Structure 1
Amino acid sequence: MNVLEAKKNNPRFINITDYGYDRGLIQAVIFYLTYLLIVAIATALIQGILNNLFGLNSLDASKIVKIFHVLFCLALALPIIWGKKIYNNILILLLPLMAGILATYMGALFGLLPIAYLTTYPSCKNEPDAQRNKELRWYHRSWLIIILIILFGLTSWYSALLLSNLEEQVYYRSPYQMMMDAFSGEVGDVGLPTIKAKEIAILTYSNLLGPNEKKEPQLPEDIALYYQHAVVSITTYNEDGKETGSGTGFILSRDGYIMTNYHVIEKAKSATVTLKNNKEFKIVTWANNILGKKYDLAIIKINASNLIPAIIGDSDDALAGQEIYAIGDPLGLKGSISKGLIAAKRDLEKIKLMQITAPISPGNSGGPIVNGYGEVIGVATMGFDSSMAQNINFAIPINYLKEEIEKIF
């Protein structure tokens, strides 16, 4: 039954071509939106599986999702070409290639455009060439396909260039900008219970020495031995009890107050502290009235007693060229100590930092930076990747802690 006969038999029969609409283009739009919906749902499921079941970070998960987008575009294009038997047209065969390239550099939103175009192309199956040529619209002409391929290619090339430039800008960002970014933004979600810190009796040499005694330089092995007991390991967990990160801390008081980096406990729903003797304590609270995101420092509390606290020094007395030691758990290797120098004292707009040459790695965060007298003068907080720079690391001066405690007590 043709369109005219259908109209006669059914007065309510509506043909979209009567209103000037192109059925092929409308079909392409419908298919395109359907494909996007499928991709969006599948992408959400894949990311959830990769993050929750396999524990992949967002960067690794996004790479796998991008591969999925490319394969999805090819999986759609090739059956369409085969089913319509239009594989004898070299220009048509270039469209799946364009779809894969666009999906690689611009995502499925653009990668599906060539696929939607393929859905409009008439089938060569069981039809003479003359009949099929009558079904070809203006947008099926070879000259337009060539223009589309050129546009797709230029768009992909330009997107790849922008992406490359963006990665280069991030890679070569100013060290000052990177450091300032680390201490900007609002306080994040810390799931640990909060408490207003009570008086913290921090241990200094003035507590230990008599009025006529002087501080004496300590041997590195003595410093390492003492801080094996004053430094702790911190492990954080999400709401499902799955481990999400680790860091270092050092004991401030005998009754269980501990210093670490704020970013170590940020977003943690629960956390534990492990001492030198492998005793494990649950972190019961964190003192939200001291420090925080501003200085990337946090004070946490465990229910313990008779702990061995770190000795707190004066970071204002620290000088460039002075020997220091970084103590912590780099990559989970507990109780590690590394030696270096204070390379410089940096005064940023928002915060002062100590630049140090002592090697630190993920896991060192929150660990003490100790001078030759065995005093903590800083807290290891960040460093540049070894592919970018060698031994350019930073510590928060310990005097920020002392100043905040003096404000409260």
Structure 2
Amino acid sequence: MRMRKLVALLCLLACCGEAAALEPDQLFKLISPSVWLVRTFDADGLPRGAGSAVVIRPGKLITNCHVLGKASAFSLIKERVSYKGKLEEVDLERDFCLVSVADERFDAPLVKLADSDQLVVGQRVVTLGNPRALEMTLSDGLISRLQRDDDGQLEAIQTSAPFSPGSSGGGLFDMDGRLIGITQRINVSTGSQNLNFALPINWLRDLPARSKAQLDEYRAASKSATGK
């Protein structure tokens, strides 16, 4: 039933084109099947931490590397359904990790990707993640600032949409339901408010090449940390 409703909503969006942005409740229905809770475990199978991940390809999800840490294993969870995850690609410098689910029963829909180079300050956005492992928490706000490096390349999206620890690896979406960034960190310094940051989704384009040099090193460090 839920999948039929999602298909109907997607068909409606295709018919309407870009006539109007979606309301938050419509956005939630559209994107929530694609955002999952990540739970990590140590070598003894004991819980280590939790975060979020977003489905970007069939059976493939993007999250922050710091969500996985040096865990021995991790699972993707939604509504008491759990799948074992596997690390596929890693970019520690940018904190981007691609994970996969091999189980053929995992049929979560993938989100559409926006061009994060086209973002503008003042643009309305929503976040969806699992703060403190509270599944499917939605918030909204604006793009407050676009942080660029010395070469003018986008390196962080500052937003007033609030999120909390556990939201790391979740999605920052535009009002058409397209993924524009991966929520990464909040500024908890004294006196700071609404300083929340996401990583630009266009970094996915570089992930395969950047991962080649880092994946073996990451797995070796994880193996050393767990002693297995």
Residue 402 of structure 1 and its aligned partner are, at CA, apart by 3.0
- Counterpart for residue 310 of structure 1: 111
- TM-align CA RMSD: 2.5
Per-residue displacement from partner, 1:207-229 (whole Å, max 9, x unpaired)?
Answer: x959x954641111011112221
User: Secondary structure of the residue that 1:331 maps to in structure 2?
Assistant: helix
- Find out whether 1:361 has 2:167 as its counterpart: no
> TM-score, structure 1 length as denominator?
0.45
Does the CA contact (< 8 Å) of 1:324 and 1:371 recur in 2?
Answer: yes
Pair 1:226–1:209, CA change in 2 (3 A):
closer
User: Secondary structure of the residue that 1:258 maps to in structure 2?
Assistant: strand
Moved more, 342-351 or 365-374: 342-351
- Find out whether 1:279 has 2:78 as its counterpart: no
What is the CA–CA distance in structure 2 between the aligned matches of 1:310 and 1:271, rounded to whole Å? 22
- Find out whether 1:234 has 2:38 as its counterpart: yes
Stretches of structure 2 that go unaligned for 5 or more consecutive residues are 1-9, 212-228
- Counterpart for residue 331 of structure 1: 132
Does the CA contact (< 8 Å) of 1:325 and 1:369 recur in 2?
Answer: yes
What is the CA–CA distance in structure 2 between the aligned matches of 1:215 and 1:366, rounded to whole Å? 30
Pair 1:234–1:407, CA change in 2 (3 A):
closer
- Counterpart for residue 389 of structure 1: 192
Per-residue displacement from partner, 1:217-266 (whole Å, max 9, x unpaired)?
Answer: 11110111122211000000111111111000011123x10110111012
What is the CA–CA distance in structure 1 between the aligned matches of 2:23 and 2:80, rounded to whole Å? 26
What is the CA–CA distance in structure 1 between the aligned matches of 2:20 and 2:95, rounded to whole Å? 31
Give the number of equivalent residue pairs.
196
Pair 1:351–1:370, CA change in 2 (3 A):
closer
- Counterpart for residue 402 of structure 1: 205
Q: 1:2-401 maps to which residues of 2 (within 5 A)?
A: 209=14, 213-214=17-18, 216-254=20-58, 256-275=59-78, 277-283=79-85, 285-288=86-89, 291-304=90-103, 305-348=106-149, 352-385=155-188, 387-401=190-204
User: Secondary structure of the residue that 2:93 maps to in structure 1?
Assistant: coil
Per-residue displacement from partner, 1:378-402 (whole Å, max 9, x unpaired)?
Answer: 0000111163411101100001113
- Counterpart for residue 224 of structure 2: none
Alignment-mate amino acid for residue 337 of structure 1:
L
Percent identity (aligned): 26
Alignment-mate amino acid for residue 302 of structure 1:
V
Please tell me whether Structure 1 or Structure 2 has the larger radius of gyration of its CA atoms. Answer: 1
User: Secondary structure of the residue that 2:67 maps to in structure 1?
Assistant: helix
Structure with greater contact order relative to length (CA < 8 Å, sep ≥ 6): 2
Residue 405 of structure 1 and its aligned partner are, at CA, apart by 5.5
Does the CA contact (< 8 Å) of 1:230 and 1:309 recur in 2?
Answer: yes
Pair 1:407–1:383, CA change in 2 (3 A):
closer
Per-residue displacement from partner, 1:73-111 (whole Å, max 9, x unpaired)?
Answer: xxxxxxxxxxxxxxxxxxxxxxxxxxxxxxxxxxxxxxx
Pair 1:406–1:315, CA change in 2 (3 A):
farther
Stretches of structure 1 that go unaligned for 5 or more consecutive residues are 1-204
What is the CA–CA distance in structure 1 between the aligned matches of 2:19 and 2:206, rounded to whole Å? 23
The structure that is helix-richer by fraction is 1
Per-residue displacement from partner, 1:264-306 (whole Å, max 9, x unpaired)?
Answer: 012111001012x4310011x2123xx5112111000112343
Pair 1:224–1:306, CA change in 2 (3 A):
same
Does the CA contact (< 8 Å) of 2:117 and 2:154 recur in 1?
Answer: no
- Counterpart for residue 31 of structure 1: none
What is the CA–CA distance in structure 2 between the aligned matches of 1:405 and 1:209, rounded to whole Å? 31
> TM-score, structure 2 length as denominator?
0.78
Pair 1:333–1:377, CA change in 2 (3 A):
same
